[in-house]
């Protein structure tokens, strides 16, 4: 996994208070590491190196131990989620029908890798496993919006929809 | 008496200790079971499934390294099913393994290669997708994950023996890989460079950074004057690389081999260890009598220096300012020897042979260049590299006649020799400090109280009516215990010896690698150390300050221990570093 160089981590005072409370409650016992990381993700939304360092120091374990756990569980993220999350289904049917190409095109258009978020915090790419609507294959989700029967040629237009939406916010 | 249980192995009855694992029981019964991930007391996971056996009543084969014995257990260790399963496991490991045994540094000592051979594996039976592997190349160590079998012996060693825990398993499933946090290089995490992970690794995934070609290039260069000196521990381990029993002292052959390789002078780090005792002993007496910072902690082990600089920088003033023996040797060659024999510094190359990989980074540290602009030591190779060099140069090691090192800088006392074992520096220092302070010959030269392979030893030694409290620790996990004692203000030691590697340099990260089967059953550290203590017992010259070459060196050059010139050449500074 690459370190995200795009988004700078900042911590609000509330987040700090919440996190300190979590470490106060669970710190010192290594077996709580997963719980603490889940709580930390709830507080910060993701687990960048700064948060992992905090957890390591607070729990008295090494940085590598924390990183090993974070990369082991797919529900723990080292990159922030974007305002708009692009998930291309990578199930077999979608894949056969060109989901791979669509995802590649997404990466190219947004200039980021799987699991990453654009520096402005707007867009993220997170391919997903089969979600069962194979009749629409290939399928892409943008948050709760569904786009079915698309090809990689549609990607730029779809991204444009959300660029506009973001501007009008 | 310990409780016993009755078990049946391969149809025969045995009585074994209760509470042990099946693997240990089979060992007690003299039955060999292969293992890959198992490292006694350190890595007991049952993960590799090479040690499987059949247990009556169990549907699946069980991993014997984690299966407890119980009364009336019936086990089969070499049925068709067991053998087939092990073979398949090995073939699956090989399917994702970079099989370049022909040139692999571990060829011949690799535990995977040996088992694949014994089980008649087809290395290409399962051709699968190969992972994209990361390589981490540092000045002291190389990790090549394409040869990693994910046994996790390195991880457990780093975490349990060294309490450093900078490596671990990242990602999961097919993508699982050994690495550091955020996939950083070992250079960028607080690794202490000890190389203990290398010695734990069953394969060629971890190895020292090889400097053989660099050194041979200098040796072949007719213009260069290349000198070499082996550390105390090298001579009690080098023989293992040539099939000799663990604990054989091959000092004479080692010196002869170094000459045959073509080094212009062969010195001995035992001499530099004596020099260290002169400087460090004097520094200790001064601190003790003039109210200096106590406890004073030894500084010979660069892995330990890497640890304290990053983890306990508040205690840097406690470190002796003495350079390590390797660096004192280099400094003395470049300042004293070069001048005495008119050797231009740009033609002079200083090489050391060490049981250690941290020595490769120590020589690049700041404040380690007594001759301005010239590193004290140019290259440091490990015992393992020396063995390969001897083989490459076509030297018939086993049949070499013993030789002696060159004079001056070649003669060492056996106080210098025992530096290689935990407690050795302390004992060598006590021999000199007590005799110098009391101004009368020691009644007893042996300080048994600081000997032995225990991780932590504490003793009180009377010196001129004063009770000197000493402590000896080896392995960073033990060093950490002592540092926490100091931090809490509970400790009242005067003098502490710390070695980074468990058991001291005899068990260094650059020493010959014995397979887990041997590591699990014999105390390699004790065997190698005993070769030192028995040489010490037989020796005449057993105190550093009585070494005639040391006396001559001070007369001709340094004048006296801790003199201005000695400080300039033989002492150093430390740097607090952020983790
Ligand atoms: S690690 Fe072992 S099996 Fe792999 S290439 Fe090296 S010698 Fe061969
Ligand atoms: S060299 Fe020592 S500290 Fe560094 S990773 Fe290996 S065992 Fe850990
Ligand atoms: S690097 Fe070596 S010791 Fe570590 S997991 Fe891989 S094979 Fe095992």
First to last CA, chain A: 32
| Chain B, window 155-174: residues with a beta carbon less than 8 angstroms from a chain A beta carbon | 159, 164-172
Q: What is the CATH number of the domain that holds A147?
A: 3.40.30.10
- For β-strands B348-354 and B225-230, DSSP reports them as parallel
What whole-number distance in Å separates Cα of residue B190 and Cα of residue B476? 13
Could you tell me if A154 and A89 lie in one domain? yes
- Assess whether A141 and A97 both reside in one domain: yes
Minimal CA–CA distance to B138: which of B208, B68, B86? B208
Same domain, A100 and A64: no
Domain-ending residue, one of A72, A100, A120: A72
Please indicate, yes or no, if residue A117 is contained in any of the structural domains: yes
Touching A: B residues 188-217, CB under 8 Å? 189
Residues A21 and A47 in one domain: yes
pLDDT digits over B112-122, tens only?
999 999 999 99
Mutation site, B134, B171, B173, B181, interface A, largest A CB count within 10 A: B181
> For residue B519, what pLDDT is reported?
96
- The boundaries of the domain holding residue A105 are 84-167
User: Across all residues in chain B, what is the average pLDDT?
Assistant: 96
Task: Give B142's contacts (C-beta < 8 A, 6+ positions apart).
Answer: B135, B136, B206, B207, B208, B209, B210
User: Does A28 share its domain with A50?
Assistant: yes
A144 and A91 assigned to the same domain: yes
pLDDT at B48 over 70: yes
Looking at the 3D structure of chain A, how many domains does it have? 2
The answer as to whether A91 is a domain residue is yes
A163 domain residue, yes or no: yes
Domains of chain B: 4-78 (3.10.20.740), 92-208 (3.30.70.20), 213-570 (3.40.50.1780)
Average pLDDT over residues A149-161: 94
Residue B193 Cβ contacting ligand 2 at under 6 Å: yes
Strands lying side by side in the sheet with B456-463: B296-297, B495-499, B466-474, B456-463
CA distance linking residue B409 with residue B295, whole number of Å = 31
Q: What token pair was written down for B572?
A: 């150093």
User: To the nearest whole percent, how much of chain B has pLDDT over 90?
Assistant: 95
Our mutation pick for probing the ligand 3 site, out of B106, B199, B205, B516, counting the most ligand atoms within 8 A of Cβ, is: B205
Q: Are B163 and B207 in contact (CB under 8 A)?
A: no
Residue A23 is assigned to a structural domain of this protein: yes
Mean pLDDT of B521-538: 97
pLDDT value of position A127: 86
A44 and A116 in a single domain? The answer is no
**A36 lies in the same domain as A107:** no
Give the start-end residues of each E strand in chain A. Answer: 84-88, 123-125, 140-142, 145-147
Q: Which one of B164, B170, B189 has the shortest CB-CB distance to A68?
A: B170
pLDDT tens-digit profile of A90-144? Answer: 888 999 999 999 999 999 999 999 888 888 888 989 888 887 888 899 999 998 8
Residue A1, domain member (yes or no):
no
A136 and A159 fall within a common domain: yes
C-alpha B457/C-alpha B526 separation (Å) is 15
Does A100 lie in the same domain as A163?
A: yes
Does A5 map to a domain? Answer: no
Whether pLDDT at A3 is above 70 = no
B383-392 and B251-261 helices cross at what angle (nearest 10)?
Answer: 60
d(CA B195, CA B264): 30
Residues near ligand 3 (Cβ within 6 A):
B 148-154, 178, 200-203, 205-206
A48 shares its domain with A116? no
Residue B124 dihedral angles phi and psi, to the nearest 5°: -120, 25
Task: Write down the pLDDT at residue A5.
Answer: 47
Domain membership of residue A4 (yes or no) is no
**Looking at the domain assignment, is residue A65 inside a domain?**
yes
Question: B432 pLDDT exceeds 90?
Answer: yes
Whether residues A112 and A159 share a domain: the answer is yes
Nearest to B426 by CA among B392, B452, B402: B452
What was the ipTM of the complex prediction?
0.82
């Amino acid at each position: 996994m690459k370190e995200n160089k795009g988004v700078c981590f900042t911590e609000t005072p509330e987040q700090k208070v919440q996190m300190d409370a979590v470490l106060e409650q669970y710190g010192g016992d290594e077996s709580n590491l997963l719980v603490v990381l889940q709580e930390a993700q709830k507080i910060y939304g993701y687990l960048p190196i700064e948060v992992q360092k905090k957890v390591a120091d607070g729990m008295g374990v090494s940085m590598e131990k924390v990183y090993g756990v974070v990369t082991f569980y797919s529900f723990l993220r080292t990159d922030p989620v974007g305002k708009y999350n692009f998930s291309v289904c990578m199930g077999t049917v979608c894949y056969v029908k060109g989901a791979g190409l669509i995802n590649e095109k997404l990466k190219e258009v947004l200039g980021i890798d799987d699991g990453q978020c654009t520096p402005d915090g707007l867009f993220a790419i997170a391919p997903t496993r089969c979600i069962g609507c194979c009749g629409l294959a290939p399928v892409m989700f943008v948050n709760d919006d569904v786009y079915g029967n698309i090809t990689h040629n549609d990607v730029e237009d779809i991204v444009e929809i959300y660029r506009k939406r973001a501007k009008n916010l | 008496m310990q409780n016993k249980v009755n078990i049946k192995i391969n149809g025969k009855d045995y009585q074994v200790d209760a509470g042990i694992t099946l693997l240990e029981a089979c060992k007690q019964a003299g039955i060999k079971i292969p293992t890959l991930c198992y490292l006694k007391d350190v890595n007991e996971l049952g993960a590799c499934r090479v040690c499987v056996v059949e247990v009556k009543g169990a549907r699946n084969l069980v991993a014997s390294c984690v299966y407890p014995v119980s009364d009336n257990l019936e086990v089969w260790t070499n049925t068709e099913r067991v053998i087939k399963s092990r073979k398949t496991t090995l073939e699956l490991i090989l399917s994702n393994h970079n099989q370049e045994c022909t040139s692999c540094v571990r060829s011949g000592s690799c535990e995977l290669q040996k088992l694949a051979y014994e089980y008649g594996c087809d290395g290409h039976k399962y051709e699968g997708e190969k992972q994209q592997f990361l390589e981490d190349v540092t000045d002291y160590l190389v990790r090549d994950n394409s040869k990693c079998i994910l046994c996790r012996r390195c991880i457990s060693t780093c975490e349990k023996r060294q309490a450093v825990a900078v490596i671990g398993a990242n990602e999961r499933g097919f993508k699982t890989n050994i690495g550091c946090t955020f996939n950083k290089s070992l250079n960028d995490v607080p690794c202490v460079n000890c190389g203990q992970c290398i010695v734990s690794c069953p394969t060629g995934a971890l190895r020292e950074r090889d400097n053989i070609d660099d050194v041979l290039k200098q040796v072949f260069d007719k213009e260069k004057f290349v000198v070499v000196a082996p550390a105390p521990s090298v001579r009690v381990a080098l023989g293992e690389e040539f099939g000799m029993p663990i604990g054989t002292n091959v000092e004479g052959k080692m010196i002869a081999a170094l000459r045959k390789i073509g080094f212009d002078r062969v010195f001995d780090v035992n001499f530099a260890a004596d020099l260290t005792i002169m400087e460090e002993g004097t520094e200790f007496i001064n601190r003790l009598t003039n109210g200096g910072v106590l406890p004073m902690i030894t500084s010979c082990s660069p892995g330990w220096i890497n640890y304290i600089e990053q983890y306990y920088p508040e205690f840097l003033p406690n470190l002796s300012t003495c350079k390590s023996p390797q660096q004192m040797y280099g400094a003395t060659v470049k300042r004293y020897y070069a001048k005495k024999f008119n050797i231009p510094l740009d033609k002079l190359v200083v090489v050391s042979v060490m049981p250690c990989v941290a020595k490769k980074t120590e020589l690049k540290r700041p404040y380690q260049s007594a001759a301005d602009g010239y590193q004290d030591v140019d290259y440091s190779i490990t015992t393992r590299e020396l063995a390969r060099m001897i083989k490459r140069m076509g030297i018939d090691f086993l049949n070499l006649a013993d030789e002696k090192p060159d004079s001056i800088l070649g003669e060492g006392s056996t106080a210098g020799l025992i530096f290689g074992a935990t407690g050795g520096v302390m004992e060598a220092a006590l021999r000199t400090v007590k005799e110098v302070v009391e101004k009368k010959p020691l009644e007893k030269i042996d300080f048994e109280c600081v000997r032995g392979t225990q991780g932590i030893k504490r003793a009180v030694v009377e010196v001129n009516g004063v009770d000197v409290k000493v402590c000896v620790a080896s392995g960073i996990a033990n060093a950490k215990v002592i540092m926490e004692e100091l931090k809490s203000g509970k400790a009242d030691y005067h003098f502490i010896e710390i070695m980074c590697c468990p058991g001291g340099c005899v068990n260094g990260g650059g020493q010959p690698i014995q397979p887990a089967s041997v590591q699990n059953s014999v105390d390699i550290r004790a065997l190698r150390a005993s070769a030192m203590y028995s040489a010490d017992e037989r020796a005449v010259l057993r105190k550093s300050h009585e070494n005639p070459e040391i006396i001559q060196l001070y007369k001709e050059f340094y004048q006296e221990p801790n003199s201005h010139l000695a400080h300039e050449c033989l002492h150093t500074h430390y740097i607090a570093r952020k983790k």
